[in-house]
Amino acid sequence: METNRVKKIHDFEQSIWLDLIDRQLMNSGSLQRLIDEDGVRGLTSNPAIFEKAISGSSDYDDDIRQLAQEGKSNDDIFYGVAISDIKRAADIFMPVYNDDEVVGADGYVSLEVSPRLALDTDGTIAQARELWKAVNKPNVMIKIPGTEAGLPAIQQAIAHGININVTLLFGLERYEAVAEAYIAGLEERADKGLPINNIASVASFFLSRIDVLIDPMLDQKGAGDLMGEVAIASAKKAYEIYKRVFSSDRFQKLRDKGAVPQRLLWASTGSKNPAFSDVKYVEALIGPKTVNTLPLETLEAYRDHGQPQARLEQDMDHATQVLARVKELGIDLLALTTRLETEGIDKFIKPYDKLLAAIDEQKKALV
């Protein structure tokens, strides 16, 4: 029997997580099958994913009705149903988390703070603590966007002992600041004599959106050969930063106390350009100690025709040249990645608001 291509990625020390959650997936046993057959080792969610799940099925009606009768606000109703899904998914992934070889290496399920808090440090910290307490599972990660306002929230949450998935990263400067916030949070915690061997974090670097924004500019400037190259080049450079930061003497002191590096996670990995391979952002970035979170259709495509091989550290010179050429063409990558972050917040606020409106309608219809 041919080895499952998705499962084979794990041989190269990369973990595949699923970028999807809904009740149907859990009720039907599909999620368990993905764990057993494809070797899926974690799950991520976001407001857009929950909006599809809740608006697209009647599975949530009873919960919405009950919470509405208790007089809960629309926000509280959303988090009520989301927390119950996340708890259940965390239980399904618990055997992965409790893996004999390395407890806590994987098996994480991510729940995001409200996208409306993306620019509110205190609000983010308060909600991260609230959600962490409400889910109350060691294998949950609270998602905090890696915005300017998110950085101190990330540091404080880590210092508080909360597992964090840092989301919406597009630029290398910001990624390095996030790794710094993680280390500073661990140091703060270690200085208080608190354990740091049970804290995990990932930094989610978004890919396809970079190319969607930059490719038309490259085409316009007659640099069509660079189309579809910038996101992967950026990810490879991010991996260089990861290796440098987490092999430093500063981090070694924390490692001696049991700390683990914050892994890079590749997000937004579905190809949005039909001219590209549908597994483009999976193939190019397989490498050790990383995570790739895949939408279901990308995972199924990879199962069908992926070619697993460690490629993350290949052609590093080419990655350097790609980014140098982008700069020579007068394209300001820092300005563009900042724009992507702003747009990214908006892309989460819109479905979140749509979700709250849908809950409001359902509430009225049900109650």
User: Annotated active-site positions, please?
Assistant: 143
Closest by CA position to 153, among listed 166, 172, 141, 140: 166
Radius of gyration (C-alpha) of the chain in whole angstroms: 20
CB 158 within 8 A of CB 164: yes
Helix (H/G/I), strand (E/B), else coil: 340: helix
The closest alpha carbon to 50, from 91, 72, 27, 80, belongs to 80
Distance of CA 140 to the CA centre of its chain: 12
CA distance 324 to 313: 18
Question: CA torsion, points 72, 76, 78, 82, in degrees to nearest 10?
Answer: -120
User: What separation in angstroms does the CA of 19 have from each of 68, 88, 291, 292?
Assistant: 29, 16, 12, 9
The residue count for the chain: 367
Alpha helices in the chain (DSSP H): 5-8, 23-27, 30-38, 47-55, 61-69, 74-97, 121-135, 150-159, 172-191, 208-220, 230-246, 249-255, 280-283, 296-305, 316-328, 333-366
Distance CA(130)–CA(120), nearest Å, equals 15
**Distance in angstroms (rounded) separating the CA atoms of residues 239 and 171:** 12
Q: Kindly give, in sequence order, each residue whose CB lies less than 8 Å from that of residue 295, ignoring residues fewer than 6 positions away.
A: 19, 20, 269, 270
Longest dimension (CA), the chain: 61
**C-alpha–C-alpha distance, residues 247 and 250, integer Å:** 8
Nearest to 167 by CA among 356, 341, 346: 341
Q: If residue 222 lies in a helix (H) or strand (E), which one and from where to where? A: none
